[in-house]
Amino acid sequence: MHRRAILAGLGAVAASGTASRAAPKPNWMSPALPEGTRDVATMVRLPGKQPLIQLTDRPPNYETPIDAFGNAITPNDRFFVRYHLAGVPTMEDLKNWSLTVGGDAAGRSVRLTMADLKKDFAQVEITAVCQCSGNRRGLFDPHVPGVEWGYGAMGNAVWRGVRLKDVLAKAGVKADALEIWLGGADGPVMQATPAFRKSLPVALAQRNDVLIALAMNGQPLPHLNGFPARLIVPGWTGTYWMKHLTSIEVSTKPLPNFWTQKAYRVPAGMFPVDLPFTSQNDSTTWPITEMVVNSVIAAPMDGAKVPRSGFTLRGVAWDRGHGIKTVEVSFDGGTTWKPAVLDRDLGQYAFRGFSLSSGALPPGPCVVSARAVSNKGEMQATTLLRNPAGYHHNLPQTLTVTVA
């Protein structure tokens, strides 16, 4: 495997002929985003992708336009792209790729090739939402620093691969194991930049639904979504879904890393979790881990014109793994709410599609909103829970259309 930054800025990508700009779509970004973000963001076509919203090109961070969420499964070519480091690896020769498993709490060290993963382990599938921890950060008021994501730093796919627990069993997990440390092939441009590494509690890593994915929606993983192998941690935010996975360490210690101990943290106890990450908690902050219940309206788009005969609203809802119980929709700015029709359940970690017809509407502005409730009874927030990094924005989305 050779390492180089294949996306060393949009200029280099465009010069190579592998990316092209598309004409901006009206209303493809929320009007609530900072003006600076709206000014510089552009629709860009990356290799193997339909146009995505470019927020940064070095490292590459590209958002899925909101209209993609009219369906519960996000196509590979519309799936968002998120990197922390600009050194995106190329996989020019897959024969040179391998996954090493070891550590001080492993029974032995093993090296697994792609052929080993496909031949020696059960192949399983799960449908799950991958969502950047900072999704909707740009909607915080007042604004906070970081990538100013709108609604589209997320996607839902059918992931196929092998269970992480089965791979760990190949090396053996000792009784005193505390965390599973994860490493990938992407790297920093400057040596002083800390390598991107994450860890999981051993109890989570031993779950049947935590996978090393080799395929996405029936196809090999797209290069910019982690080819040839990435971790799938259903219910947890995407920071743990290590792309371009190359190393796994079974450790008796907490991972001492910038990306665990300084970044990706929230005020202690602010958000509900089912499995606390106790080895990384401290008295004031916890690592961000499990997602919160949320929903998004994909159609109509904010600012659209709709007929007096009405329109059909479509969107998706999700949570951290309890599943969606109900979605309610308002066509009058939240004065009254009606239950939406839920689509087929694709699994507890997947998007749940919903729809509702507005019926005939009076002319003029129509303020539309949606809110979801999980099977655990958790509801979208009524008040924004502010935190320094702008995580877990789950206020009900509100948009305005014009009835004419």
Tens-digit pLDDT profile for residues 285-331 = 999 999 999 999 999 999 999 999 999 999 999 999 999 999 999 99
Tens-digit pLDDT profile for residues 32-45 = 888 888 888 899 99
Tens-digit pLDDT profile for residues 2-35 = 334 344 333 334 333 345 454 444 467 888 888 8
Q: Average per-residue pLDDT in the chain?
A: 92
Reference 229, options 338, 341, 114, 137; nearest CA is 114
Q: What is the pLDDT averaged over residues 116-141? A: 97
Tell whether the model's pLDDT for residue 91 goes beyond 80.
no
More confident residue, 30 or 221: 221
Degrees (nearest 5) of the Cα angle 400, 403, 404?
145
Tens-digit pLDDT profile for residues 330-347 = 999 999 999 999 999 999
What structural domains and CATH numbers belong to the chain? 10-82 (no CATH), 94-139+146-287 (3.90.420.10), 294-403 (2.60.40.650)
The partner residues of 297 in beta bridges, in order of sequence, read 315
Are residues 63 and 55 in contact, defined by beta-carbon separation less than 8 angstroms?
yes
List the single range of 31-35, 100-104, 143-147, 221-225 with lowest mean pLDDT.
Answer: 31-35
Q: Measured on CA atoms in the order 108, 111, 115, 121, is the torsion positive or negative?
A: positive
Reference 159, options 352, 354, 350; nearest CA is 350
The pLDDT score that the predictor gives to residue 27 is 62
Q: Could you tell me what percent of the chain has a pLDDT over 90?
A: 86
Which residues contact residue 11 at a Cβ distance below 8 angstroms, ignoring those fewer than 6 apart? none
d(CA 186, CA 72): 29
Amino acid making up residue 336:
T
| Structure tokens belonging to residue 368 | 């539309």
The pLDDT score that the predictor gives to residue 190 is 83
Q: Are strands 312-318 and 338-339 parallel, antiparallel or unpaired?
A: unpaired
Q: Mind giving me the DSSP string for 53-110?
A: EEEEETTEEEEPPGGGGGSSSPPGGG--EE-SSSBPBP-S-GGG--EEEE-TTBSS-E
The pLDDT score that the predictor gives to residue 111 is 98
Q: Could you tell me what percent of the chain has a pLDDT over 70?
A: 93
Peptide bond into 388 cis (omega under 30): no
Are residues 157 and 213 in contact, defined by beta-carbon separation less than 8 angstroms?
no
More confident residue, 12 or 231: 231
| Structure tokens belonging to residue 115 | 């052929």
Amino acid making up residue 351:
F
